[in-house]
Amino acid sequence: QKEVEQDPGPLSVPEGAIVSLNCTYSNSAFQYFMWYRQYSRKGPELLMYTYSSGNKEDGRFTAQVDKSSKYISLFIRDSQPSDSATYLCAMTKNSGYALNFGKGTSLLVTP
């Protein structure tokens, strides 16, 4: 079993839709959870990170962590065509540095 599982998609939604992206993980030692956005042929760009369980909101983006279920989510409200990219979840242990990534979910927001 991989430590971090992420559905690769692709996920196609109309502009303005609410998008839900998810990852599950198996290592209960993970404490920090990140979401990166990666445009085609570019490097990953950090969107948000959260520590332990709970919610964090930043503009149109909301990250949720449920450690009891080993499940994290990223919600995108009012999705825009410019949100079309691959979204990577990543996580690490406390005081960790080696990020463990999911394979990424490809999102397409159509006008």
Site residues (vs other proteins, CB under 8 A): 4, 6, 31-32, 36, 41-46, 49, 51, 88, 90, 92, 94-104
- Between the alpha carbon of residue 8 and those of residues 17, 52, 54, 86, the distances in Å are 19, 24, 24, 9
Nearer to other proteins, 42 or 77 (CB): 42
| Alpha carbons 33 and 11: distance in angstroms, whole number | 22
CA angle 30-33-34, nearest 5°? 145
In whole angstroms, the minimum distance from the beta carbon of 10 to other proteins comes to 13
In whole angstroms, the minimum distance from the beta carbon of 28 to other proteins comes to 16
Nearer to other proteins, 17 or 49 (CB): 49
In whole angstroms, the minimum distance from the beta carbon of 64 to other proteins comes to 18
CB distance 49 to 32 below 8 Å = yes
Nearer to other proteins, 48 or 108 (CB): 48
The tokens describing 104, both together, are 């990424």
